[in-house]
A and B are shown apart, each in its own frame.
Chain A
Amino acid sequence: MLKIDNLHVRVAGREILKGLSLQVNAGEVHAIMGPNGAGKSTLGNVLAGRGGYEVTQGSVAYGGRDLLQLEPEARAAAGVFLAFQYPVEIPGVNNTYFLRAALNAQRKARGEAELDSREFLQLVREKLKGMQLPPELMNRAVNEGFSGGEKKRNEIFQMAVLEPKLAILDETDSGLDIDALKQVAEGVNALRDPKRAFILITHYQRLLDYIVPDFVHVLADGRVVESGGAHLAQELEAHGYAWVRERKPAEAAA
């Protein structure tokens, strides 16, 4: 589904990703862990198409297409979804209106029929079930006045409605208390599907107690320095990121 090969990315003249490679297949859940400054969020942003990220080398193939050539909205229509680390407040834009416009824009781009407001509200009602998201938030402006936890759950809710093929969660666990974390995890687990892949970007192992990944990758200094199964996250938690650097001094410095 996704093949990242030797990706180099500069941000504001500074090289952040330095040869990152990663392959993600449909149905898989990949966790990307690493210390602050390793380039985790840069990876999420570059995949979603945020401006200001300059790819100097390498490639990203998504479903056989060159992902980097697509505008952000074309990536969304092709099934890429980024749950933001800091969801943006947009005063004056109604949450439900926005989500319906987004879904219909994607459907239109894919040549599918758009949903009328009745069909859409039915979908919203269905997806809200078990989301622990107060329904009145749907009638407020996008993320405006939402608590930190509500913003993160709203991202998961949007994901549930938009049904992406590749969902990238950028530190969705940060700033959440344990109850909110469980709710987010439940939301993600409910969407696990053989046709859908997830990339979970996280600093802590905590989220992975609730969403058990198929693969864990350690990102340090702009590249993947170690990959393994779910157990790798526990070892990291026990030993810290320094442990990876000690074990992989030669490659990390190369």
Chain B
Amino acid sequence: MRAAALPASGIGWLDAARHEAMQAFLSAGLPDTRNELWKYTALRALEQRGYSARDESASTRMIDEGTFALPDIEGTRLVFVNGVFRADLSRLDDLPQGLSVQPLSRALVENPEPLRFLLSRHATEPRDSFASLNAALASDGVLVRVAPAAQIEAPLRIVHLGAQAEAAIACHARNFVELGEGACLRLIEHYAALGEHAHFTNIACEYVLQKSARIDLLALQDSAVGAALFRRSDFHLHEDAQLELHALELGGALARHELRIALDGDRSRAQTRGAFALRGRQHVDTELLIEHHGRDTASDSLWRGVADGRARGVFHGAITVHPGADGADAQLSNKNLLLSEGAEIDTRPALEIHADEVKAAHGATIGQLDEHALFYLRSRGLPAETARILLVRAFCAVALSGVEPQALREHCDALLLAHLPRENAQ
């Protein structure tokens, strides 16, 4: 599998790790729907596809920066086009003090040894087929380190832009983000599209939050409508660490995001908010797996889903409170709206408690637009379509209300609006 083309090949330990990961992938194959975490997402269509290992023009394509612009968001950013790091589009000068950012491809070439531990261990356990494939083939990614006590106020942005190319591309990227004790970081992961394409993208992210660190993460997924996107994000929270996550899932023919949040340290907390809005024949799957290990840990998750046309949405929210995680507080709410008869949403909340003095609540609903509310709005003069869209936006707004700054929140709302059907077409 073209290992020779990967950055820093020839380094013994790295070649061995990549080889081992590839063997693991080849022997396991793609997961099938007998796997509980893939129950509603079949990959048969994917198996029959052919992908090019790279886009030869990725480093030279003309890219309009407006394609991935976000309002009121300036500053440090890394931009990847079809998996290839683009220094010309990125901004890595004037890094704030305490923030270290580097593309993985560059770090591997310049100074690979410190990465040995990260790349040769099985970083993301349990490792599934996509994680194995990622470990074997990741050609780039991002290394972020925030020094202890550093407060990085201006958001750091990681942009993956899928650009139309001569053929469908497969790319694999691996990110590591580590926040030192008491550090604070705002991060935006942005998946954007330029033109239509059917690329396959496989991203593995690992976040380590040392004691009292805090990360504020916005994951904005607005990929091309034909794209296949597989993401795995692992979070490890030490004592008193805090994660605040907002996720918006809009694009992709087949998009899956597996979020694994480990509340390892005592009093660590995670707040997750997310929404998907699907149409056409999109299939979007969010797997939210939260593990309470430390004492007095807290997780609060609020997710919304909307599906129109013949789209299918999947939300699996599983919370496990492990033995010893006494005093845990785990809240999960997932509500969904079906806008057409052909749309389908599967939601599976799951809660397992093996500790004492735990406060936990979870609920999931699937419904249709409230006819009373619709009539109320229309009776005041709003056209039916306007009223419908207003209600859907309001339904999702609760998941996005914490996005800052306001201009970014309004941008998210506008993206959501652009994905809602103009008419309630079947």
Contacts and interface: CB of A to CB of B under 8 A. Distances in A.
B377 interface: yes
A49 B376 CA distance: 10
B384 A71 contact: yes
Contacts, number: 72
A121 interface: no
A98 B398 contact: no
B393 A73 contact: no
Interface in B349-408: 370-373, 375-384, 386-387, 390-391, 393-395, 397-398
Residue of A73, A75, A141, A158 contacting most chain B CB atoms (<10 Å): A73
Given A93-B390, A93-B391, A93-B394, A88 B381 contact: no
Contact of A91 (B371, B375, B378, B394): B394
Contact of A49 (B377, B379, B383, B387): B379
Contacts of B395: 92
B379 A48 contact: yes
B178 to A, nearest CB: 37
A223 B386 CA distance: 36
B411 to A, nearest CB: 18
A75 B386 CA distance: 16
Contact of B382 (A87, A91, A102): A102
A90 B373 contact: yes
Interface residues of A, number: 30
Given A90-B394, A91-B398, A92-B393, A73 B373 contact: no
Nearest to B390: A93
B380 A88 contact: no
Judged by DSSP, the binding face of B is helix
Contact of A72 (B370, B378, B390): B378
A162 interface: yes
Contacts of B390: 93, 98, 101
Interface string A98-109: 110111011001
A125 to B, nearest CB: 20
Given A93-B391, A93-B394, A162 B375 contact: no
A248 B163 CA distance: 79
A124 to B, nearest CB: 15
Nearest to B386: A105
Interface string A72-89: 110111000110100110
A99 B395 CA distance: 18
Nearest to A76: B381
Nearest to A82: B379
Contacts of B394: 90-93, 141
B380 A98 contact: yes
Interface in A96-137: 98-99, 101-103, 105-106, 109
Interface residues of B, number: 23
A84 B378 contact: no
A73 B378 contact: yes
A105 B391 CA distance: 16
B382 A73 contact: yes
B334 to A, nearest CB: 16
A93 B382 CA distance: 13
Nearest to B387: A73
Contacts of A101: 382, 386, 390
Given A90-B391, A90-B394, A98 B381 contact: no
Contacts of A98: 377, 380, 390
Contacts of A102: 377, 380-382
Contact of B377 (A51, A81, A90): A90
A162 B376 contact: no
Interface in B24-62: none
Contacts of B380: 76, 98-99, 102, 158, 162
A181 B328 CA distance: 49
Interface string A145-175: 0000000000000100010000000000000
A49 B371 CA distance: 13
B407 to A, nearest CB: 17
Nearest to A86: B372
B381 A109 contact: yes
A155 to B, nearest CB: 10
Given A92-B393, A93-B391, A84 B383 contact: no
A50 B386 contact: no
Contacts of A90: 373, 376-377, 391, 394
A106 B381 contact: yes
Given A91-B394, A101-B386, A105-B386, A162 B381 contact: yes
19 contacts: A49-B379, A50-B379, A72-B379, A73-B383, A77-B381, A88-B372, A88-B376, A90-B373, A90-B394, A92-B394, A93-B391, A101-B382, A102-B377, A102-B381, A105-B386, A109-B381, A141-B394, A158-B380, A162-B381
Interface of B: 370-373, 375-384, 386-387, 390-391, 393-395, 397-398
Given A73-B382, A91-B394, 4 more contacts: A50-B375, A51-B371, A90-B377, A93-B394
Query: Across chains A and B, which 7 residue pairs bring their CB atoms closest together, nearest first?
Result: A92-B394, A76-B381, A106-B381, A102-B380, A72-B378, A88-B376, A92-B397
